[in-house]
Structure 1
Amino acid sequence: MQDPADMAPEDLSHAGSVVDKAIEYMMEQKIAPISIASALLGGALGLLARTMDDRSVAAVLRNALASVESGELNEAREQGGPNRA
């Protein structure tokens, strides 16, 4: 099975920008960061479930967990940005 990171579509950057703007807007609306994150995660899981088989969804989730465990989120915290809580 191919690594999900290697399957990133060309429009990933655009999609990421749209999500960042949505997060920024929700933060301006004083929505709690945990509520924003939970809604985004739920929506993402729903989309994955509708477009991938369970094995592929699990691979995406393993990749995300590996990012957390490797410290990639610490790097993101240090960089800041609109999705920083």
Structure 2
Amino acid sequence: MQHDLGDAPEDLSHAGSVVDKAIEYMLEQQIAPISAASALLGGALGLLARSMDDRSIAGILRQALHSVESGELRSLPTLPKG
């Protein structure tokens, strides 16, 4: 299955809210941010691998890398105290 990376799915906002709640819960449980992030990234990559071809996954990863290198991620709000 291949997805167009330019079109955001209708349920993206809802999915983002669910992930935010999961992050909040993990921090409340005193899970280190690096552990939470690693688990979320691993889960996300596993889900992508089951639903997309490798070329599409690489495109998503390239977009993510561009966001890191451009400093875009540094403009995100800081984590709440867990």
With the shorter chain as reference, the TM-score category is 0.7 to 0.9
Give the gaps of 5 or more residues in structure 1: none
Q: CA deviation at 1:70?
A: 1.1
- Residues 1:65 and 1:3: Cα distance change in structure 2 (over 3 Å): farther
Q: CA deviation at 1:80?
A: 2.9
Q: Deviations over 1:33-75 (max 9, x none)?
A: 1110000000000000000000000000000001111111110
Regions of 4+ moved over 3 Å: none
Query: 1:10 matched to which residue of 2?
Result: 10
TM-score relative to the length of structure 1? 0.85
Seq. identity, %? 74
- Residues 1:64 and 2:64 are matched in the alignment: yes
- Residues 1:33 and 2:33 are matched in the alignment: yes
Give the gaps of 5 or more residues in structure 2: none
Aligned residues: 80
- Aligned CA RMSD, in angstroms, stands at 2.0
